[in-house]
C-alpha cells in the first residue's frame, strides 16, 4: 500500500493529500517489522503446503489514518497542530476501487502463536521516523531518479 509513504512525502513537501471519495475506504494496517516477523514465523514453524494470512486485525478508514498521520507529521516537523490536515483534498474515487481490504489472520495466530508486537499507532510513529531519517532516499524514489540507474539511462 502506497498511502503512507506517499502522504509522508507529500506532507514533508506541503503537497496535496488526495483522498478518494470521502476517505471511507477501509484497510487493515500492520507495521512492516511485524509483517516480516510473521513471514519468519511461517517459514520456520508453518506446515508445508498450508496458507497463512498475515494481517493486523487493525482496520482504519483512510481518512482516520490520514488525520493521524497528519497529526504525527505536524508534531515531528514542528508545525502547528492541524497544519498538515489543510493539505487533505477529496478527489473522485476510482471506478471499481475496493471499499474494504480485510484479512482473517486468525489461523496464523491460533496455530503459530503470532500476533503483532506493536499497537498500530506506535508502528506508524516508527514508520514516520524511518521515512524522515531517510528523506534523501525517499526524494530519490519520488523523483524517479532511481529509474535511470535501473534502466541504464
* Domain residue limits, the chain: 3-151
Strand partners of residue 28: 59
Cell 496455530 locates to: 111
Residue 31 near residue 107, CB atoms below 8 Å: no
pLDDT of 10 higher than 90? yes
pLDDT of 133 higher than 70? yes
- For domain 3-151, give the CATH number: 3.40.50.720
pLDDT of 112 higher than 90? yes
pLDDT of 149 higher than 80? no
Torsion, Cα of 52, 44, 119, 26 (10° steps): -20
pLDDT of 127 higher than 60? yes
What is the pLDDT, as a whole number, of residue 2? Answer: 86
- Interacting residues of 140 by C-beta distance below 8 A, sequence separation 6+: 146
What is the pLDDT, as a whole number, of residue 151? Answer: 65
Provide mean pLDDT across the span 142-148: 78
Q: Give just the sign of the alpha carbon dihedral 126, 130, 131, 132.
A: positive
Amino acid at each position: 500500500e502506497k498511502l503512507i509513504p506517499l502522504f509522508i512525502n507529500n506532507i514533508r513537501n506541503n503537497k496535496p493529500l488526495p483522498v478518494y471519495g470521502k476517505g471511507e475506504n477501509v484497510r487493515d494496517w500492520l507495521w512492516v517489522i511485524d509483517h516480516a516477523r510473521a513471514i519468519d514465523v511461517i517459514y520456520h514453524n508453518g506446515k508445508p503446503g498450508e496458507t497463512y494470512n498475515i494481517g493486523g486485525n487493525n482496520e482504519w478508514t483512510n481518512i482516520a489514518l490520514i488525520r493521524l498521520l497528519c497529526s504525527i507529521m505536524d508534531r515531528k516537523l514542528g508545525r502547528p497542530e492541524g497544519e498538515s490536515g489543510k493539505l487533505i483534498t477529496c478527489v473522485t474515487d476510482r471506478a471499481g476501487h475496493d471499499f474494504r481490504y480485510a484479512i482473517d489472520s486468525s489461523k496464523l495466530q491460533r496455530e503459530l502463536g503470532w500476533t503483532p508486537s506493536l499497537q498500530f499507532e506506535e508502528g506508524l510513529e516508527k514508520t514516520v521516523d524511518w521515512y524522515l531519517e531517510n528523506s534523501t532516499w525517499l526524494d530519490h524514489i519520488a523523483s524517479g531518479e532511481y529509474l535511470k540507474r535501473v534502466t541504464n539511462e
